[in-house]
Chains A and B, each alone.
Chain A
Amino acid sequence: EVQLVESGGGFVKPGGSLRLSCVVSGFTFSDAWMSWVRQAPGKGLEWVGRIKSKTDGGSTDYTAPVKGRYTISRDDSKNTMYLQMNSLKIEDTAVYYCTTLNAIPRPDYWGQGTLVTVSS
């Protein structure tokens, strides 16, 4: 059974930091390009960023609003992806989903999401 389990969400003040984790099981994590997608309360989906597999270079890309503040990394030995979020803003408040977000003929998987609340 495939599972993507996010953790690390919580309440943080503006300017603060938080690190999210996504532990994967049930498929070959090391081969997967992984993304974070967020959803502000009552709003739509927003792609946050992606990390390629190490065999494809392991590079990362980010949407403009988080570039320079967020960092995605992975530890294939632990089947885990991370999202380090710094200089958090109120508008970063959202449920953050871990996902394969495949656009190609490969199965697509999503976690249950973890809520990040940025408030003073």
Chain B
Amino acid sequence: DVVLTQSPLSLPVTLGQPASISCRSSQSLVYSDGDIYLSWFHQRPGQSPRRLIYKVSNRDSGVPDRFSGSGSGTDFTLKISRVEAEDVGVYYCMQATHWPLYTFGQGTKLEIK
């Protein structure tokens, strides 16, 4: 089974500063069609998760452009260029390449210093 390992698990950040979260896969996430089905989700405290990024680097509608995703093969990164107060919560990566089974990373908790 594919395992996604996120780091760090806890990320204290000063408002206005950048933040970066890593997601490493135990297997390549390149699908047979050449695409990579790696998504990022954000879950604010007490809320349902919300998808931010799909297929590594595509932002969902309404997601601020301070969020960006990158990566290839087994290593992926979510970056926030300037953290704002509304960005607190837990971030998860998820793979859908090795379907039919989907896998989430264990989550990274972002908090404001």
Contact = CB atoms under 8 A, between A and B. Distances in A.
Which of A45, A61, A63, A99 has its CB near the most chain B CB atoms (within 10 A)?
Answer: A45
Q: Give the contact-size bracket for chain A.
A: 20 to 34
B111 to A, nearest CB: 15
Interface residues of B, number: 27
B54 A45 contact: no
Nearest to B49: A110
B49 A44 contact: no
Contacts of B41: 45
A23 to B, nearest CB: 16
Contacts, number: 61
B92 A44 contact: yes
A46 B51 contact: no
Contacts of A110: 48-50
Given A103-B39, A108-B60, A47 B48 contact: no
Interface in B5-58: 37, 39, 41, 43, 48-51, 54-55, 58
Contact of B49 (A61, A97, A105, A107): A97
B64 interface: no
B48 A61 contact: no
Interface string B51-88: 10011001011000000000000000000000000000
B92 A45 contact: yes
Contacts of B51: 102, 108
B49 A45 contact: yes
A89 to B, nearest CB: 20
A111 to B, nearest CB: 7
Given A103-B39, A113-B48, A47 B54 contact: no
Contact of A46 (B43, B48, B104): B104
12 contacts: A45-B41, A45-B49, A47-B103, A97-B49, A99-B49, A103-B94, A103-B96, A104-B37, A105-B55, A107-B60, A108-B51, A108-B60
